[in-house]
Amino acid sequence: QVQLVESGGGLVQAGGSLALSCAASGPTSSNYGLGWFRQVPGKEREFVAAMSRILGTTYYATAVQGRFTISRDNAKNTVYLQMNSLKPEDTAVYFCTAKYSGLCFAADACESWGQGTQVTVYS
């Protein structure tokens, strides 16, 4: 298993930027693919972004493509999400996710979840 601890998030005006980070820990944490999901009340968790551990290939939801950037520091087992040009519809709780030797693009495929961090974008 892997433990995920998120930081960042907060309140920002539309058009602004925020950055999230997620540190993975545990004896096998370096073997996990990491990514981000988000959830608004009353809706299911949705995929935001993911990054493969070895090749560094990145994947984005259409809604955030071109505005969000995922990156990873393998030495620190940490994944980051830089969010630019934020919109009110980006308001959600953002979760860091992990999957052993792979990536999860559907919520039920993720094996570990962080505690979530609130991102609120006001217009």
Backbone angles phi, psi at 27, to 5 degrees: -60, -25
Beta-strand pair 18-25/78-83: antiparallel
What pLDDT is recorded for position 58?
Answer: 97
Q: Name residues of the chain where pLDDT drops below 50.
A: none
Q: Rounded CA gap, 4 and 74, in Å?
A: 14
- The SS3 call for residue 1 is coil
Q: Rounded CA gap, 74 and 26, in Å?
A: 14
What pLDDT is recorded for position 54?
Answer: 85
What pLDDT is recorded for position 25?
Answer: 93
At 35-57, the pLDDT tens digits run 999 999 999 999 999 998 888 99
Q: Rounded CA gap, 93 and 72, in Å?
A: 20
Q: Rounded CA gap, 46 and 118, in Å?
A: 15
